[in-house]
Structure formats: C-alpha cells, structure tokens
Amino acid sequence: MEREEEPLSARPALETEGLRFLHVTVGSLLATYGWYIVFSCILLYVVFQKLSTRLRALRQRQLDRAAAAVEPDVVVKRQEALAAARLKMQEELNAQVEKHKEKLKQLEEEKRRQKIEMWDSMQEGKSYKGNAKKPQEEDSPGPSTPSVIPKRKSDRKPLRGGGYNPLSGEGGGTCSWRPGRRGPSSGG
C-alpha cells in the first residue's frame, strides 16, 4: 500500500505544479496584454453583429428575388399599383396648378380693373388714388380681399410735437451739437 500512496502523492504535486505554471503564464499574459484582449473581444463582437445583420439582409433579398421571379403576377400588380399612385398624384398636382392659374388670372383681372378705374378718374379730373380704392371696398367687403386697408391719417399720432423742427436748431432740449477744436490732436 505504501507503493500506491507514493504515486498518488506525486500526482497531486505534478498537477499543482502544472496549475501554478498555468496560473503564472496566464496571469502574466493577462497582466501584459489584458486590455488589448478585452478591446479585441469587444471589436470582434461588434464586427460579428454587423456581419450577421448584413448576411440576414442579403439572404432576405435573395429570397425576395426568388419569390418575385417565381410569381410574375405579383410583380405586375405592384407595377400597376405604382403607376396608379403616380397617376393620382399627377392629377392632384394638375388640379392645384389649375387653381393657382385661376387665382393668378383673377388677380390680373383685378389689377386691370383698378388701372381702368384710375385712368377714368384721372380723365374726369378726380384724385385717382382715393377713388380707385373706394369702389373696391364697396364691391367686395370681406376678408377675401388680398390688399390691406391703410389707416387714415387722422388716426395716426404725430411722432413729435407740432412745433418741433430738427433742422431749425431750436427746441432741441438739452442736446446740442458743438464742433470740435481745430488743430492737431493732443494725444501723445
């Protein structure tokens, strides 16, 4: 029995020595290159994820192409639906263009009518500015008119008092302008 115990006790010594050797080599390897190993593992993980998503997308495209090649009716239906959608959008665009053209024609007609009224009032010897705007207000009183009605002069407040004239030099208060001294500058 003693002989059996000797090889048993020798084995654990070899195993512990092997474990110590493994611990020392792995420990020194991690101590020296640990951060490089961690970053490379993270980089490999990210690259693997990107490649796997691209491979999935590639497989899906191949399956779609195969399905489209097998079913030409589906392709024809898609093309017809696309053509119908384009036609509908074109019709809507054409309708909007027609509305815009009609609106421009109305505006041009209104301008032409105003010019005629101004010309008539000038021929009669009246003030064309006042007369041209009064009929327009009477004809179409409503928010649909594009022009803004100007305020009357009586509603406006004067910016300065009635007796103030900036060019006269009087009534300016405490501020007055004085010319500078003549001669060379005294700096320096």
Cα dist. 188→67, 180, 184, 185 in Å? 91, 18, 11, 8
The rounded Cα 17 to chain-centroid distance in angstroms is 69
User: Of the candidates 110, 125, 140, which is a domain's last residue?
Assistant: 125
CA distance 150 to 155: 11
Domain of 80, in residue numbers: 72-125
Helices (H), the chain: 2-70, 72-124, 128-139
Are 31 and 24 contacting, i.e. CB atoms less than 8 angstroms apart?
A: no
SS (H, E, C) 61-95: HHHHHHHHHHCHHHHHHHHHHHHHHHHHHHHHHHH
Question: Do residues 110 and 89 share a domain?
Answer: yes
How many domains is the chain partitioned into structurally? 2
Model pTM score = 0.31
Q: Which of 105, 107, 106, 129 is nearest to 119 (CA)?
A: 129
Output the pLDDT for position 173: 60
Output the pLDDT for position 132: 45
User: Of the candidates 52, 70, 88, which is a domain's last residue?
Assistant: 70
Question: Do residues 54 and 79 share a domain?
Answer: no
User: Of the candidates 27, 42, 70, which is a domain's last residue?
Assistant: 70
pLDDT in tens, the chain (188 residues): 445 555 555 567 777 888 888 888 988 988 999 899 999 999 999 999 999 999 999 999 988 887 767 677 888 888 999 999 999 999 999 999 999 999 999 999 999 999 999 998 888 888 766 544 454 444 545 455 555 666 566 677 767 666 666 677 665 566 667 777 777 766 65
- Is 3 part of a structural domain of the chain? no
- Is 120 part of a structural domain of the chain? yes
Structure tokens at 160: 């300065």
CA distance 62 to 69: 10
Output the pLDDT for position 1: 45
- Is 52 part of a structural domain of the chain? yes
Output the pLDDT for position 59: 93
Burial 33-63 (b: 16+ CB within 10 A, else e): eeeeeeeeeeeeeeeeeeeeeeeeeeeeeee
- Is 109 part of a structural domain of the chain? yes
CA distance 10 to 15: 9
Question: Do residues 61 and 99 share a domain?
Answer: no
- Is 58 part of a structural domain of the chain? yes
- Is 171 part of a structural domain of the chain? no
Output the pLDDT for position 182: 78
Question: Do residues 55 and 79 share a domain?
Answer: no
- Is 46 part of a structural domain of the chain? yes
Question: Do residues 41 and 79 share a domain?
Answer: no
